[in-house]
Amino acid sequence: MRTLKNLEMHELIGLSCEVVESTNPLQVGIAGNVVDETKNTIVIESENGYKMIQKKGAVFRFRIGDGYRDVFGDRIAYRPHERTKKVMWRRRKW
């Protein structure tokens, strides 16, 4: 089950998302639902169409229920099916 605490380990597609910070200032403020994800990008369906955002250098705000969590794109810059293993491994090292 996806929660705010374990968000980095789960699938992001279908979540409500907003770009809070980015190396590209034109991308800040883009909001909508995540429709696709690759190793380096997240595709958000916004009011103005589909927007492809680089993960590295960006901070995303994901909403689950009434809460939200800011996630650094560098921490989720893996393929979706590999991210679960890598994040779990990183947590054990801490």
Q: What pLDDT score does 10 carry?
A: 83
Question: The whole model's pTM is what?
Answer: 0.86
Task: Single out the residue of 75, 81, 61 nearest to residue 4, CA to CA.
Answer: 61
67 contacts 74 by C-beta, under 8 angstroms: no
CB atoms inside a 10 Å sphere around CB 71: 19
Judge contact between 19 and 58, C-beta under 8 A.
yes
Three-class secondary structure assignment of 41-53: EEEEEECCEEEEE
pLDDT mean values, one per 10 residues, the chain (94 residues): 82 95 96 96 96 96 94 90 68 52
Domain 7-93 homologous superfamily, CATH = Ribonuclease P/MRP, subunit p29 (2.30.30.210)
**Which residues, in sequence order, are CB contacts of 54 under 8 Å at separation 6+?**
22, 23, 24, 40, 41, 73
